[in-house]
Amino acid sequence: MLSQRSGKWETGLLDRPYGRGTMFQVYVTNIEPVERSLEAAGWPLYAGPREMWRKVGDRRSGQREIFVLDPDGVAHDLGYRLSLDEPEPVTIRPAGPGDLSDLRWAIVELQDYERGLPATRLPGEQIADVYLAWLQQEVAETGVILVAEVAGLFVGFIAGWIVEEHSMTETADSRRAGYVSDICIMPAHRGCRIASDLLFAIERHFAGAGITRVRIASLVANASAQAAYRQAGYQPYEASYEKVIPTG
């Protein structure tokens, strides 16, 4: 770990060969015998004992630690891991009128993220209000907008509805399918499998209406979205190709 000098952990003058600017971190199975041995030897602690908790993804990692100096003044951080907290539970529920501002915020986030992939996406702020109104209209009959919350905070949403195609080439179960139009996880909560939770929740909604197939589209350049869909059990179905041609 590299950190900027602040004076807090400088155990002496930082002269060549700069050994006092080094800290070694050692984990032990139990810190208490180490503390007793140091006390018996009359070796003072530079800092601690203390408990430190740090955020690791969607969890908190805790450890009890002490700091000692060797004869050359080099710091050693001796730590014992306390626990790894369970992640905060995710609550998924149907969106209500009080969620409109959060949904608009997420639409802007999703649009601006995808705008960095192809050059054809408009700015999020430009389309957010109209798009949100359109989503509400589309889900009114057979669809749903679900929001995900962690500790009461909005962390994402998913929207979808049932589509029926009049195609003579498709089987009956394929002509009537669940369609996921949008899914967005806010940046601070990505990588926590919330997308899988939202997909499962909307699948239950579709299954209640007798739907056996659910489809979702992705930009080819959106590799992270495709990875999340595959992880949730989705497989490629159709591919769409585009070519820009000259006019005249």
Average pLDDT over residues 176-195: 91
CB atoms within 10 A of CB 198: 27
Which domains, and CATH codes, for the chain?
A: 19-84 (3.10.180.10), 90-231 (3.40.630.30)
d(CA 23, CA 179): 54
Peptide bond into 118 cis (omega under 30): no
Residue 84 has pLDDT above 60, yes or no: no
Average pLDDT over residues 213-242: 92
pLDDT, tens digit (0-9, with 9 covering 90-100), for 7-52: 666 666 766 666 566 777 888 777 788 888 888 888 888 777 777 7
- Asked whether 21 and 14 are in contact (CB, 8 A), the reply is yes
d(CA 48, CA 77): 10
Query: What is the pLDDT, as a whole number, of residue 244?
Result: 92
59 pLDDT tier (thresholds 50, 70, 90): low
Average pLDDT over residues 146-155: 93
Beta bridge partners of 24: 76
Average pLDDT over residues 150-178: 92
